A and B are shown apart, each in its own frame.
Chain A
């Protein structure tokens, strides 16, 4: 079974530039998550989708971050404009459903460096 696919693997940009990350979840997984992991910290949830609807985006900095999941499959996360503090690994995860004991499967992440 194919896992969660993310691209690009690495991205280096200058501050105030824009960047986009792409995620393809495991086939059949209705729930998709974007997490931000800053070096030395645990992953922090940015946004959760159930199919193509947003379940929670309370920790998404909406002045600069946006995410969409058109057709309830692939998802993109965009940052515009980027700040130095956005340097982190952006992890996408998916699960079959959104109930509490659903196992999350993570992709390898996109490592973003903002200079």
Chain B
């Protein structure tokens, strides 16, 4: 039973355009959401997070949107750069369960110059 799903295994965008990565979850107890970025042969690195009390969080070129009623979140990258090419994982946690993260399957983003 996948509680966090990323339905697009890959996404290709042109440099300078917007990248939108989507994530859906089923567990209504999740109250904290994160995006991690992973380059080949490296571990995932934290990118941005959002608490369930917010619907938007911005950090430079990266913005995460949360729609609690739809159990959906998205990561917007604008403008996209070739260095953003990586696998992006959505993750969620339940505050009552400490810091145990449930990850989605990842979306491979390719930004073409």
Contacts and interface: CB of A to CB of B under 8 A. Distances in A.
Nearest to A96: B99
Interface string B62-102: 00000000000000000000000000010101010111111
Interface residues of B, number: 28
Interface string A1-19: 0001000000000000000
A103 B4 CA distance: 19
A19 to B, nearest CB: 19
A64 interface: no
A100 B93 contact: yes
Interface of B: 4, 6, 9, 31-32, 36, 41-46, 49, 51, 89, 91, 93, 95, 97-106
Interface of A: 4, 31, 40-45, 48, 55-56, 91, 93, 95, 97-109
